[in-house]
Structure formats: C-alpha cells, structure tokens
Amino acid sequence: MSIPILMYHQIDEPPKRGTPLRGLTVAPQSFALQMKLLKLLGFKGLSMQDLQPYLRGEKNGKVVGLTFDDGYQNNAQNALPVLHKYGFTATCYGVSSMIGGTNSWDRGQVAEKPLMRLADWHAWLDAGMDVGSHTRTHAKLTELPPNQARCEITQSKEELELALGCHVNHFCYPYGWFAPEHRAMVQEAGYLTATTTQRGRAAAGADMFTLRRIMVARATHVVQFAAKILTAYEDRRE
C-alpha cells in the first residue's frame, strides 16, 4: 500500500509576485478545497501519530498523512478550522526555540511571518492535532558537528514537551537535509517517525525515519492534487 504524506508550509494569502518561496504559501481557499476533495474521495487526513499503524502495515485504509513544517501561526488560524470541519488530524512541526517568534532562519531571503505562540499551540493540541519537532533553530543538520546536531534533535523534543505538556514523537528534517548519523540520532532520541522532503508516497513497511512526502504548493491545481494522491504521479524517483 502506498500512503501519501502531504507537506504544507503556510496556509495564507500568497505574498506578492516575485517574493522568494512564494510558492510554499497555499491559499486558504485552495487548502479548503483540497481537504474537501480528500473527504469526497473517501480519504481520512491523519497526523503522523494517527498514521503510524498504516505505515507499519498493521492497518489498511484510505488515509493521507497531513504535515505542516515550521509552525506558522497561519496554520492555527487558517488550516485548523478546516481540519476540524472534516474530522481530520495533522502534525505541525515546530522549532522549539522560536515559539512566538518568526521564521528568522530565512531572514533576508523570505518575508518573515509569525510562528505560533503558546496559545496557538494549545489551540492546536486541544483540537486533537499533533505536535512534532523541526529542531531547536531550524538547523542545517548536515553542516553541524555531531554533538550540536544531536542537541538540536534531542533538546527540541524536550523543550516542546516541557512547554506544551504533550508528547512529541515525530520529527522532520529542516530543508530535508540529513545523513545516516542524523537518522540514528532521531531514533535514539525516542522519536517514532521522521519525514524528509524526498518526493513520493510512503510505502507501508518503509523505514519510519526517512519517510517521503508530497509537496503541496500554491500552484498545485486541484486535478494535480488528486493525481498526487491517487496515482503514481509522485513516485517517480529523482
């Protein structure tokens, strides 16, 4: 069984033309249409926490993983009500040292947008959503000495759990950058899954710490969205 795990970043009105990474901001109307389509096609949108039995091959069903990278406040504002409406769950990967901050790791390249504050994270959790880790500082793991990389992976879990009072079982590699030693560190830190930016649907029984995902961008047309979910469209290997 192939399981699509969707990767979103921001759900908001797109910034003006020419803005770098503009494509990663999906309009709220597009997102709502995509979730509606999943529902109409009989799919259930699930957080990484809820998707685990399907990924392990213990359960079968029409399911799609829903993930949001970075923890933008607009996820709580614009995505959460839609997820709630359809009874879906999702994982949002937060940057533990930047709760209530901005995507300052992109400074000078991309417009800075607010990240979820504590109250937003609590609203997210209270609605049955899942919190994952995206390191302490949105780190480029492959450029760090091993002890620092380990700290980013391990401490972010501890910091998020302490700040939010929840379990943080799922990890996402910033920029999709990792090496085998980082995969091992994620597993040793006690996470249960990790997602990458490598394209493709996840195969049931695949390695839980190098899971492929499907990017949904601003320009993803609803027909293309359906193809990404229903067909081998995304499974072409680079």
What single letter denotes the amino acid at residue 164? L
Q: How far is the CB of 145 from Zn ion (least distance, A)?
A: 21
CA atoms within 13 A of residue 181's CA, in its CB half-sphere: 10
Residue from 69, 120, 130, 152 touching Zn ion (CB under 5 A): that is 69
What does the per-residue mask of binding to Zn ion show for 91-130, with x meaning CB under 5 A? Answer: ----------------------------------------
Place of tokens 């081998």: 232
Q: List, in order, residues 6 or more apart from 32 with CB less than 8 Å away.
A: 82
- Retrieve residue 156's tokens: 């972010």
Taking the complex as a whole, the smallest distance from the CB of residue 205 to Zn ion amounts, in Å, to 27
Calpha distance 131→45 (Å, rounded): 15
State the nearest-atom distance from the C-beta of 154 to Zn ion, in Å. Answer: 18
Query: What contacts 139, CB < 8 A, 6 or more positions away?
Result: 148, 149, 152, 174
Smallest CA-to-CA distance from 45 within 78, 15, 3 is with: 3
Task: Classify residue 160 by burial, with Cβ atoms within 10 Å: 0-12, 13-18, 19+.
Answer: buried
Q: Which one of the spans 49-57, 68-76, 124-132, 193-201 is the region binding Zn ion (CB under 5 A)?
A: 68-76
Residues 238, 13: contact at Cβ < 8 Å? no
H or E, element range at 45: strand 44-46
Examine residue 152 and tell whether it contacts Zn ion (CB under 5 A).
no
Of 50 and 70, the one with the shorter C-beta distance to Zn ion is 70
From candidates 12, 50, 70, 152, binder to Zn ion by CB under 5 A: 70
State which residue, 63 or 115, has the beta carbon closest to Zn ion: 115
- The 155-184 site mask, x for binding Zn ion (CB under 5 A), equals -------------------x----------
- Cβ proximity to Zn ion: between 43 and 173 the closer is 173
Nearer to Zn ion, 4 or 94 (CB): 94
CB of 58 to Zn ion, least distance (A): 29
Minimum gap (Å) between residue 223 Cβ and Zn ion: 27
Sites of contact with Zn ion (CB under 5 A): 69-70, 174
